[in-house]
Structure 1
Amino acid sequence: MKKIFVLDTNVLLQDPNAVFAFGENEVIIPSIVLEEMDSKKRLADEIGRNARYVSRLLDGFRAQGRLQDGVALENGGTIKVELNHRSFVKMQDVFGEITNDNRILAVALNYHTEEQEKPEPKDVVLVSKDTLVRIKADVLGLTAQDYMNDRIVSPTDMYTGCITLRVHPAVIDEFYSFRFLSVNSLQLSFKLRPHEFVILKDEMGTSKSALLKVNGDGRKLEPLYLSNEAVWGITARNAQQRMALELLLNDEIPLVTMSGKAGTGKTLLALAAGLYKIEDEHKYKKLLIARPVVPMGKDIGYLPGEKEEKLRPWMQPIYDNLEFLFDTKKPGDIEKVLAGLGSIQVEALTYIRGRSIPGQFIIIDEAQNLSRHEVKTIVSRVGEGSKIVLMGDPEQIDHPYLDASSNGLTYVVERFKDEAISGHIMLERGERSRLAQLAADLL
């Protein structure tokens, strides 16, 4: 039996191709959704881009027929812009205020009521990324669901970049004797990915263990290239940080992704590795550091001054880490250091579109606030001889239409986890302070 799916505005703003995701069913777009799209189309961000894309898509459907009567889609479904189900009478006793959300709910409710009067009623499903809209729909007796097609992976199945295996102690002895292990010799029932880290532990319960990394072709386990020496004054404080430095300093891995809670050292490790590669090894010409301009809490509005002055509040976390690495004592000293070096550029992602960036060590902080389209735009800017590091905490997202399963960082991690040119590690242990670790765990 075919179903009727009523789409909320936020579904189309998140995925402008969502109308094609419902198979051979009927897709309904309430007229208020068009009005909300119209209010968003002038925005310069991705929400505005998606609103314009949906507008062009619907305009293309007009050539095939009248949208208010329904237009057939290539996948066997139909799309319809609904004009005649806006009656709010049935909802006034429950939700008296005529808001845009309630008007969308009214469309779904009126469709549901009509279908129940038919001999073979179709299921009516309201699709929304707004939790409260789905709750309201449930109160009204409607079926409601989140839009799941944009989810890359469930939070519990996210790739961590590290696995612990319990093996016979003879396997660990073999590794220390020959300094490598064949992946086939482990006889695993699952596949190890390129540059995945493996911790071997004695299945007999002794303290014997080994830390290894899968090589680029996924066939061999090798020891870590780095010992635990300091990198630009920073020493790894736990196993995951050591793994992160291994990826960051490996010139054969041009794409590195790191995820983890606040205080796990993502930004500090990336900056230390970048400075080492540029100032000590001269592997890259410049260190480019960028982060999306997405506020936590209420936006503070327009800021005065030149571009550097406007960006400073957004980039302050980067400057905090640079001040620590350069051990500056007075306010303003870091600007003098950066001006003297000339090889470090702190930038907002707003200015990265259209650029080609060869021979640079690129750090993208707070990548969890990027959409799939935005992260594709950024990674596709990387030129020959460059290395890009994407990092963030998928649990701390300030973007209104993204979550831990649909953000750009998670998207890159999952799409590149089987590629030999990329490596990923999830940092778990906080090292900022005991208070910060407790806050991350308890709050």
Structure 2
Amino acid sequence: MDDHGFAPSNQPILYVLDTNVLIHDPNALLNFEEHHVTIPMTVLEELDKLKVGKHSVAAECRQAIRLIDQTLGDASPEDVESGVPIRRGKGEPKGFLSILLNKRTEPANLLPEHLNDNIIINQLIDLHARDPELRVVLVSKDINMRLKARGCGIAAEDYSTDQLVDDVSLLSRGYHTVTGSFWERVSKVDTRQDHGRTWHRVQLTETFPGVHMNEFIIDEQGFVGWVKGVKADELLILDLHQEPLMHQEAWGLKPRDIHQALALFALLDPDIHLVNLTGAAGSGKTILALAAAIEQTMVSKRYKRIIATRSVQGLDQEIGFLPGTEAEKMEPWLGAITDNLEALHMDDENAHGSVDYILSKVPLQFKSLNYIRGRSFQQSLILIDECQNLTPHQMKTIITRAGSGSKVVCLGNLAQIDTPYLSAPSSGLTYLTERFKDFPNGVHITLQGVPRSLLAEYAEAHL
């Protein structure tokens, strides 16, 4: 099997790319090895319609169009139809790219052609009728289009080159909970003190499955260790001590459980440049991140500003129609941030006045994702909410914006994906979690429980 899960064969496959694949990954045409990739004329027309504007989809479309143009170069119309070799860097060209024209013989159309999806499927039926030996596979992120294609006898698959895990339950949670005592699993330990910190170099009696850099080990006896080195059956662990962890405070907020304590610890650590917090609704992701952000801009002055943004399905297209400045346009979409500000100040005499006061004093900027593209932020704390709705390509685009002295905090819940062409395994949040699991300056924590309210907790479990 290759990356896409298709059975290998000596005969190259003709992969037909749908528009949503090129929006999901503008470089998708480079990922089909020695096979032939074709882009239907209908897809080019859809990219053309979507390429105008400042929303993120337009940027993906423009990038995809540029790559198609660069690959085809100055090829003749005949070559464009039959296939132009795909160059990747300085190596030998591998595979071919062609444009699938709308001309067809006249078989009876299986599907009415009032939809672009149907036009593409009918073209593939025609291709297959003309050459039954040709192995044609439609690649689409749209499950309904794949079902329609299969119903018409055309093989169809999801685009999964950037999908690193098949089952999100296998993703790291950022910590390992050990029954009993962790020390029962240790055959040899070398403990040393260094600047008031306790380090353990331990050899284990059995291999500890799937331990990665910067993950935590928690046992039932109160031990909390931070893994700072992994080598076969040997771990280098920093002893964190549970008591001081649970007594941390940021802008008046204290952690409610050990998982929140570890998240706050990572958020406040200047040497951690990426914090990735996942968890169910109400597990405290946003309020912890916001409290730590305000603490580090107002009190310790580690960062000059907080940039808050979130991925909201439809926001990019709709934001232009909302009245007001960019900040005012973003406010309805960033209600989660202001709601959490109110929660942080609910004990104040006038909570709403406190929030307005904080917003006037804290260098907190609400920005759309479009604003973040192409910018570089120095000494900023960048909060990205609803990360589960980002594609891997969008996630890369945003995280590469972090300049020197900046920290990125990604928040998301894989159970609440609102984008029709994303699933938990293909989400940018899953991609980030898996890709950064050995990054020495990054921490991932999956928060537990629903401390929002008894009602929310019951609803999460029973509805």
TM tier relative to shorter chain: 0.7 to 0.9
Mapped contact 1:245–1:269 kept (Cα < 8 A)? yes
Aligned to 1:91, what secondary structure does the other structure show?
coil
Matched, 1:24 2:34: yes
Matching residue within 70, 73, 76 for 2:86: 73
Residues of 2 paired with 1:8 and 1:57: CA distance? 16
Residues of 2 paired with 1:293 and 1:397: CA distance? 10
Give the partner amino acid of 1:270. Answer: A
Residues of 2 paired with 1:375 and 1:91: CA distance? 40
Q: TM-score, normalised by structure 2?
A: 0.83
Q: TM-score, normalised by structure 1?
A: 0.86
Name the counterpart of 1:139: 151
Deviates more, 1:390-399 or 1:415-424: 390-399
Residue 106 of structure 1, CA deviation: 0.8
Residue 78 of structure 1, CA deviation: 1.9
Residues of 2 paired with 1:377 and 1:324: CA distance? 32
Matched, 1:227 2:240: no
Residue 357 of structure 1, CA deviation: 2.6
Matching residue within 41, 46, 49 for 1:39: 49
Mapped contact 1:213–1:224 kept (Cα < 8 A)? yes
Name the counterpart of 2:422: 402
Give the partner amino acid of 2:155. Answer: T
Give the partner amino acid of 1:213. Answer: W
Aligned to 1:214, what secondary structure does the other structure show?
strand
Q: Which runs of 5+ in 1 are unaligned?
A: 202-207
Matched, 1:215 2:236: no
Aligned to 2:376, what secondary structure does the other structure show?
coil
Name the counterpart of 1:90: 108
Name the counterpart of 1:171: 184
Name the counterpart of 2:162: 150
Matching residue within 172, 179, 182 for 1:159: 172
Q: Deviations over 1:123-167 (max 9, x none)?
A: 221111111111111211221111111223332332221123457
Matched, 1:15 2:25: yes
Mapped contact 1:287–1:360 kept (Cα < 8 A)? yes
Residue 383 of structure 1, CA deviation: 2.8
Mapped contact 1:10–1:129 kept (Cα < 8 A)? yes
Aligned to 1:90, what secondary structure does the other structure show?
coil
Aligned to 1:259, what secondary structure does the other structure show?
strand
Name the counterpart of 1:185: 204
Matching residue within 289, 298, 319 for 2:338: 319
Aligned to 1:68, what secondary structure does the other structure show?
helix
Count of aligned pairs between the two proteins: 430
Residues of 1 paired with 2:125 and 2:458: CA distance? 46
Aligned to 1:288, what secondary structure does the other structure show?
strand
Matching residue within 330, 333, 338 for 2:359: 338
Residues of 2 paired with 1:200 and 1:88: CA distance? 70
CA separation of 1:144 and 1:335: change in aligned 2, threshold 3 A: same
Mapped contact 2:342–2:351 kept (Cα < 8 A)? no
Residues of 1 paired with 2:106 and 2:445: CA distance? 51
CA separation of 1:376 and 1:21: change in aligned 2, threshold 3 A: closer
Mapped contact 1:88–1:98 kept (Cα < 8 A)? no
Matched, 1:302 2:321: yes
Residue 268 of structure 1, CA deviation: 0.5
Q: Deviations over 1:271-330 (max 9, x none)?
A: 11222233333333333323235448x958722223332222111110110111123535
Residue 372 of structure 1, CA deviation: 3.1
Identical aligned residues as a percent: 37
Name the counterpart of 2:128: 112
Q: Deviations over 1:329-383 (max 9, x none)?
A: 35454223321x2433333333233443333333222222333343333323323
Give the partner amino acid of 2:151. Answer: V
Give the partner amino acid of 1:322. Answer: L
Residues of 2 paired with 1:86 and 1:437: CA distance? 57
CA separation of 1:105 and 1:355: change in aligned 2, threshold 3 A: closer
Name the counterpart of 1:246: 265
Name the counterpart of 1:204: none
Residues of 2 paired with 1:347 and 1:53: CA distance? 22
Mapped contact 1:338–1:344 kept (Cα < 8 A)? yes
Name the counterpart of 1:205: none
Q: Deviations over 1:183-207 (max 9, x none)?
A: 4335425452221011235xxxxxx
Mapped contact 2:307–2:381 kept (Cα < 8 A)? yes
CA separation of 1:134 and 1:436: change in aligned 2, threshold 3 A: same
Give the partner amino acid of 1:278. Answer: T
Give the partner amino acid of 1:106. Answer: N
Mapped contact 1:293–1:348 kept (Cα < 8 A)? no
Residues of 1 paired with 2:129 and 2:271: CA distance? 61
CA separation of 1:36 and 1:290: change in aligned 2, threshold 3 A: closer
Q: Deviations over 1:64-98 (max 9, x none)?
A: 34311222234532222122554674334xx3353
Matching residue within 278, 284, 306 for 2:303: 284
CA separation of 1:440 and 1:12: change in aligned 2, threshold 3 A: same
